[in-house]
Amino acid sequence: MYPYLFHSEYLPSYVVLICIGVLVALIMFRVICFKLSLPEKSFRFYGIIIVVSIGLGFVFARLFQMLYNYLETGDIGTGITFLGGLIGGVATFILLFALFGKNYRKDFFKVVNIAMPCIAIGHFFGRIGCFLAGCCYGKKTDFLGVRFVEKITTTGEWIYGDPRVPTQLIEALLLIMLGITLLIVIFSFKKSEYSAVIYLYTYSIFRFIIEFVRDDPRGAFLFGLSPSQIISIIMFIGAIALNIIVIRHNKKPEMEKPRM
């Protein structure tokens, strides 16, 4: 745990890592668009709405966390949640596209698939930030646990708690592996249309499972499941629907071939 870089209160690790993650994700998006020959006009259009979506995504991340906190403690508390940001960012992206994207429709799904490894890698940096800040921690454990600071005394002494499952590092490992896998799928296997499907399947299943060992305030929503687990179920259903769409789209050329 290292909440402040260089021991400066003006450099909170969590904020710095999130900023790095966003910057890396945007750079990756530019490079992948160039490699896949996305038209420059499309890149500029989608680049603008992606930046706006990221900004509003942070607003939704805060609003969702306020809801989580309220369900758990009755107080809005502090912090942000990735799934809330993802939902808000995606909703903003789709809305802006529906309003202004009439001339860029042919590149929509290509851009969505390009964005997936960028999101995974950017999220990886965010989870490292969580680990340094000591949030999103796991349950107490006697096996390969990490001790986080529970409080800092008035004299500046750090008081450590019991060892806990390093859920942040586990998720960070999953995200970096997922991001690399998606890049391989896009560039080596030339199957960029499956990028979003793979991301949704993988992250929804992982997030649903990891929630069982998270021990920070999660909030109970339905059937004893946390809000994030409910969202994960919805993401998984969305992955199935998108998978069907991709399969049908890939079969169209064969169906349209004239019979011999």
Other residues' Cβ atoms within 10 Å of the Cβ of residue 179: 23
Residue 166 lies in a domain: yes
What is the rounded distance in angstroms from the CA atom of residue 220 to the CA atom of residue 69?
A: 10
Instruction: Return the bridge partners of 256, or none.
Output: none
Report the predicted TM-score, pTM, of the whole model to 2 decimal places.
Answer: 0.89
- pLDDT confidence of residue 250: 83
Residue 231 lies in a domain: no
Q: Tell me the residue range of the domain where 172 lies.
A: 5-190
Is 254's pLDDT higher than 70? no
Q: How confident is the model at residue 242 (pLDDT cuts 50, 70, 90)?
A: very high
115 CB-contact burial (10 Å; exposed 0-12 / middle 13-18 / buried 19+): buried
Residue 70 lies in a domain: yes
Write down the mean pLDDT value for the chain. 90
Instruction: Tell me the per-residue pLDDT of 87-132, one tens digit each, with 9 for 90 and over.
Output: 999 999 999 999 999 999 999 999 999 999 999 999 999 999 999 9
What is the rounded distance in angstroms from the CA atom of residue 201 to the CA atom of residue 243?
A: 10
**Token output for 131:** 């680990």
Residue 19 lies in a domain: yes
* Number of domains the chain contains: 1
- Exposure b/e, 58-84, CB count within 10 A at least 16 = b: bebbbbbbbbbbeebeeeeeebbbbbb
What is the rounded distance in angstroms from the CA atom of residue 8 to the CA atom of residue 129?
A: 15
Instruction: Tell me the per-residue pLDDT of 6-56, one tens digit each, with 9 for 90 and over.
Output: 777 778 899 999 999 999 999 999 999 999 999 999 999 999 999 999 999
- pLDDT confidence of residue 157: 75
Let me know: does 79 contact 135? Beta carbons within 8 Å.
Answer: yes
What is the rounded distance in angstroms from the CA atom of residue 51 to the CA atom of residue 57?
A: 10
Average pLDDT over residues 220-243: 89
Let me know: does 140 contact 162? Beta carbons within 8 Å.
Answer: yes
Instruction: Return the bridge partners of 169, or none.
Output: none
Residue 30 lies in a domain: yes
- pLDDT confidence of residue 65: 86
Residue 72 lies in a domain: yes
Residue 247 lies in a domain: no
Q: How confident is the model at residue 255 (pLDDT cuts 50, 70, 90)?
A: very low
Instruction: Tell me the per-residue pLDDT of 182-220, one tens digit each, with 9 for 90 and over.
Output: 999 999 998 999 999 999 999 999 999 999 999 887 666
Residue 204 lies in a domain: no
